Amino acid sequence: MSTRYNARAAEPKWQKIWEERGDFLTREDADGKPKYYVLEMFPYPSGRIHMGHVRNYTMGDVIARYKKARGFNVLHPMGWDAFGMPAENAAMEKNVHPKGWTYDNIDAMRAQLKAIGLSFDWTREIATCDPEYYGQEQALFLDFLEAGLVSRKKSMVNWDPVDNTVLANEQVIDGRGWRSGAVVERRELTQWFLKISDFADELLEGLDTLDRWPEKVRLMQRNWIGRSEGAKVFFAVDGVPGETDYRLEIFTTRPDTLYGASFCALSPHHPLTQSLARDNAALQDFIRKCDQIGTSQEAIETAEKMGFDTGLKARHPFIEGKTLPVYVANFVLMEYGTGAIFACPAHDQRDLDFARKYKLPVIPVVAPKDKEGAELDAFASDLAERSTDAYTGDGVAINSEFLNGLDVASAKRAAIEKLEAKGIGQGTVNYRLRDWGISRQRYWGCPIPVIHCRTCGTLPVPREQLPVILPDDVNFDAPGNPLDRHPTWKHVDCPKCGGAATRETDTFDTFVDSSWYFARFTAPHAATPTEKATVDRWLPVDQYIGGIEHAILHLLYSRFFTRAMRKTGHLSFDEPFAGLFTQGMVNHETYRDDKGQWVPPSDIEIETLDGARVARRTSDGAPVEIGSVEKMSKSKKNIVDPDDIIAKYGADTARWFMLSDSPPERDVQWSDAGAEGAWRFTQRVWRMATEKPEDLAAPGEAMPASFGEDELALRRAAHQALAAATDDLDNLRFNRAVARVYELANAVSGFAPASPAGKWAKREAVEILIQIVAPMMPHLAEECWEALGHKEPVVAADWPVADRALLVEDSVTIAVQVNGKRRDELTIARDADKETVERAALALEKVGKAIDGKPVRKVIVVPGKIVNIVV
RNA sequence: GGCCCCUUGGCGAAACUGGUAUACGCAGCAGACUUAAAAUCUGCUUCUCGUAAGGGAGUGCGGGUUCGAGUCCCGCAGGGGCCA
């Protein structure tokens, strides 16, 4: 037998055996086994997997293999989030077709994933760019359309005037398009929206039921949905051309500050602004200036406040005869609330910035509770005259007539009551969450299945004509959407009148594709989007794993889609993911040469000189500076290619390293030393299973009747490691499970069997170790399992059960403290009563010395834990 | 600016609901085996005083609760996240 474990030979061998045996095919006839659906976020087929994928999929694979061994019927599928911009960019840059590029990448990445030994059921593979998938997505959309979950409306977008395309906020860098560098404009386009805001309350309340989600993610979603209670208030506005009693509707979260109002402000896109601008060139100019800022909140928030006085006057709702100037202001968003506000500069920072700039009054109406008399006057006059910081804290209403003396919450209620009584406002709930714009002016996406007819309007594509398939013959040599300029594709007959009509040439946001794939995996080839009974049986996903970067959008959209699919009869539950785990990133040191150029780790040699680590470039020996540890990225070149690692050490070593050391939710640092360490351990496990076979009892030998002390200690170590590792795996604490395995390995290494019972105990310990290791390093475990004489692979073996009798020791060692300081320890029978423990503790020599003759006031005995003597 | 999270040896980190702080790994040091190297094995490794036996301090900083605090509470500093 070879003394070295040969991963390069063993890994493909076992991958083939698993595939031939069909170990990972999910069976629908499960013989009453409980189901377990484990899912990792599917990748974008960029062409190569990276270490982040390896970490993500290894964690999922450990869970899948572990649950299978625990007797679950496991569903563990994989697919491709295959539509998106990079394919089109590749088409433009390298003159390849997005389709060919994408499918080539899928083939390459599938081969890479297979080389990691992941237990996917590949018969369920889906790619979102397959018509079989996106055709069903189109069917879903039509159902949503019928159910009133879709709207078509005008919305502001970031428009790149050079590339003639819409840009996502992330694609706008310093106000310029990321590809063209052109100054981005805000432009109004008619787009398709999914009415996610109809579900705002449900999505918010549902978060409380997701007790196996990280609290952090739930909080982020809560903030994103942004429920705020406030009031709608109608301000009568005088002087609106062509209107006799125009009422401006505003939304505010602070109706308690109405007495501090000093102006009203409209969004540049408010209908009133638009109608005023029609014959006002100066206002048109102002609107244009506002539109150059971009659409992101951040851009708008950080831009300097700008205003345009319309000359209109709004009448204060509570103060007879008082009027407020009406401005158009760049910081008021049409998308939030009603697109119009009243401003109370004393208690809102943006309002204050604006008021100071345009010399508008600042009227304090809330003061901190503890301020009285002269102090209160000083506070109020400072805020009114000078301060540049608005007071947004809690306090007591002042200068507010009937509200005076009330705290903020009570004043809000009182103000709303009064507004409602006067019929000029009402309490209302507003959400930050906006409807989801899903139109993209791109080729490589799912075509939106509607047809525009001049006479009949916008109509759904008839179902029998689905899927609407993307044409292959497109070119990318001009800016804009290739679908739009395709000579024939968009020209169709109107399904209603038969006249000439055109297809919608926009495609879906790729987040649509990933909002229901988890459901499709349960019946990947069904002729309907889902098979209801099947999807209801498998979902929710028991454990979903992916990056924290999807904490909001993907997870929120999926939760919305699930509700929309329930409403349209495709499934019958609300929450798609019962358990969510967000794993940390894979980081690496960075290296720079003397010219400041980044050097990849593959071209680095590290030595230790006088205790300090020194790096040089392998290719020319030039010294290189070791920089900070950062997320692996192309720009810093600190990337380690999984293929290189697998070629050098094997997949199991990479898997083991990804699970060791750092807790899974935290970032992990990839290092050569760490990889070497993992590799050494694979060899150590192999030696444990194959060296000195004469030290192991024959396979299947009956358990001896009795064991010696050392033998019992080894058995205890094995069963305790098993119990602890099982608990760790149940709770996704892979790093701790790894530590248990090392502890057990150390116990096995330190044991030399001296009797048949010893040999039996050693085999038991080694087999338990191999079985704990099996989900994490499956190929190595198979090879060892086979060497140990097993006929069936370990993948088919049941998870071992720890013997409870071996988990507890007969005696325990407990600490003895005097006045809370540890002075000695005491080994005593586990079931000794308190008096016995106390007597034994007081009898200890070191304890006596520490007490030093002082009177003992109190002795605290916590059985099995500690004794504390208070003197 | 608001809310939330984190801070433990040279490094990554353990420590279940308050109960022996530093398990396990990495790096380092010493030794064994070897002609030598690699590989492997054994031991040491929080700081500090001490030749030693032994003592003292110690989980970012300052306080508090408790017989007892890495863990709970208050304040501060540094790092990170989300929302503004």
Q: Give pLDDT tens digits for A547-557.
A: 888 888 899 99
End-to-end CA distance of chain A: 65
pLDDT at A460 over 90: yes
Average pLDDT of chain A? 87
Most confident by average pLDDT, A61-70, A329-338, A653-662, A847-856: A61-70
pLDDT of residue A1: 43
3-state secondary structure A246-277: EEEEEEECCHHHHHHCCEEEECCCCHHHHHHH
Pairing of strands A612-617, A623-631: antiparallel
Report how far apart, in Å, the C-alpha atoms of A246 and of each of A235, A268, A311, A424, A708 are: 8, 18, 15, 13, 95
pLDDT at A171: 64
In this predicted structure, what is the pLDDT of residue A302? 59
- What pLDDT is recorded for position A598? 83
Residue A31 pLDDT class (50, 70, 90 cuts): confident
Q: Strand B: which nucleotides have any atom within 7 A of a protein Cβ?
A: 1-5, 12-15, 19-21, 23-29, 39-42, 55, 57, 67-69, 81-84
ipTM for the predicted complex: 0.94
Over residues A198-246, the pLDDT tens digits come to 999 899 989 888 988 988 888 888 888 888 888 889 988 887 887 778 8
Mean pLDDT of A324-353: 85
Residue A426 (CA) to nucleotide B5 (C1'), in angstroms, measures 38
Both structure tokens of A570:
């495709």
Predicted TM-score (pTM) of this structure: 0.88
More confident residue, A220 or A512: A512
User: Quick one: pLDDT at residue A866?
Assistant: 85
Say if residue A856's pLDDT is above 60: yes
Query: Of the spans A300-304, A367-371, A704-708, which averages the highest pLDDT?
Result: A704-708
Residue A299 predicted with pLDDT over 60:
no
Nucleotide B31 C1' to residue A649 CA (A):
30
Identify the residue with better confidence: A263 or A377.
A263
Write down the pLDDT at residue A789: 92
% of chain A surpassing 70 pLDDT: 96
Residue A186 scores a pLDDT above 80: no
Residue A824 CA to nucleotide B66 C1', Å?
Answer: 22
Report the candidate in A742, A868, A194 with the shortest Cα–Cα distance to residue A515. A194
Task: Determine the distance between A588 (CA) and B34 (C1') in angstroms.
Answer: 37
Q: Is the pLDDT of residue A425 over 90?
A: no
Q: What pLDDT score was predicted for residue A821?
A: 81
- Give the span between the Cα atoms of A385 and A392, in whole angstroms: 17
CA of A518 to C1' of B39 (A): 47
Rounded Cα–Cα distance for residues A304 and A331 (Å): 9
Indicate whether A741 pLDDT > 70.
Answer: yes
User: What digits encode the pLDDT tens for the residues A623-674?
Assistant: 787 777 778 877 788 888 889 889 989 999 999 999 988 889 888 888 888 8
Q: What is the pLDDT of residue A851?
A: 76
Rg of chain A over all Cα atoms, to the nearest angstrom? 34
Among residues of chain A, what percentage have pLDDT more than 90? 41
Span CA (A657) to C1' (B31), Å: 29
Distance, angstroms, CA A680 to C1' B39? Answer: 10
| Residues A812 and A864 sit within 8 Å (Cβ to Cβ) | yes
Tell me the average pLDDT across A376-404.
82
Cβ atoms of residues A784 and A687 within 8 Å: no
- A845 CA vs B49 C1’ separation (Å): 24
Q: A301 or A223: whose pLDDT is higher? A: A223
Instruction: Place A162 in a pLDDT band, splitting at 50, 70 and 90.
Output: confident
Neighbours of A667 (CB within 10 A): 15
How do residues A570-624 score in pLDDT, each as one tens digit?
A: 999 999 999 999 988 888 888 888 787 888 887 877 766 655 677 778 777 787 8
Judged against a pLDDT cut of 60, whether residue A2 lies above it is answered with no
Estimate in Å the CA A870 to C1' B52 gap, whole number: 32
Gap from A489 CA to B31 C1', Å: 79
User: What is the distance in angstroms measured between the alpha-carbon CA of A661 and the sugar C1' of B76?
Assistant: 32
